Copies of this chain bind each other. A is one copy, B any other.
Amino acid sequence: MMNDEEVILVNFWSSPFGCRVKIAMEEKGIPYKYIEEDLFNKSSFLSAINPVHKKVPVLVHNHKPICESLNILEYVDEIWSDRSPRFLASDPHQRAQARFWANFIDRELYEASQKIYIGKGEEQVVGKNEVLRILKLVEGELGDKPFFGGDNLGLVDITLVPFYSRFYTWETFGKFSIEEECPGLMAWAKRGTSWYAMANKRPNSGTRRDSGEFESRNPSRYAEGILEPLRGGLQELDHHPTIFSLQKPQELFKRTLVIPDHKR
């Protein structure tokens, strides 16, 4: 990697899609600047770098923007192909399988899960059943492997693991247990917690347009890293506008707040 290159991640702190990119950067050990976007007062910068969707995450590499999280993961794997781990195998059929499952999760899981806590009555049941159908299919693909990528994390692992922090919320509002329904997937998720924690070690709640170079791979900050943004989120509940507070009363955000494993 050249020293003079500029890598910027534009994100919103609670985005599971942006979390994928953070995990990818962290795993490959690539320093980057982090810019928190205020999704309720979107910047002209966001419109400039993602004019089609105006959504996060966007990776800006040497002034060239790359949009859509799975697209970014492939880009990161290709441009820093000399850095391990590789997120995609070299075998074309294994690559196709990984892309299939990553896309399946990307297209279906978030939308289905939203029904669990935004929906009521029958719609909530529908959401729960859809989420379980998806998770069971995904668990079937995992099989006996430690990770979807085999012995190491790969594209599918990075795509799915940010949702783990929402399992508790889904279970609470859907009244079901993922551990009981999908024990193999839950064991996988626990193996993957360290990636999630590592990616979230950076305090990134609130709105900071440019918080400077990210010192990556600092193990001493793991614990405080995953705690701080969540504590920040809790404190900011009453005055920080959120996706959910625009759709429903404030309490909905409390219901949907990411709850870390160690608080369960």
Residues of A within 8 A of B (CB): 52, 61, 64, 66-68, 71-72, 74-75, 78-79, 92-93, 95-96, 99-100, 103-104, 107, 137
A53 to chain B, nearest CB (A): 8
CB within 8 A of A95: which of B75, B103, B107?
Answer: B75
| New contact pairs (9) apart from A67-B100, A75-B96, CB-CB < 8 Å | A52-B104, A68-B100, A68-B103, A71-B100, A71-B103, A74-B96, A75-B95, A79-B92, A79-B93
What are 24 residue pairs bridging A and B, where the CB atoms are less than 8 Å apart in the complex? A52-B104, A52-B137, A61-B93, A66-B93, A66-B96, A66-B100, A67-B100, A68-B99, A68-B100, A68-B103, A71-B96, A71-B100, A71-B103, A72-B96, A74-B95, A74-B96, A74-B99, A75-B92, A75-B93, A75-B96, A78-B95, A79-B92, A79-B93, A107-B107
How many identical subunits does the complex contain? 2
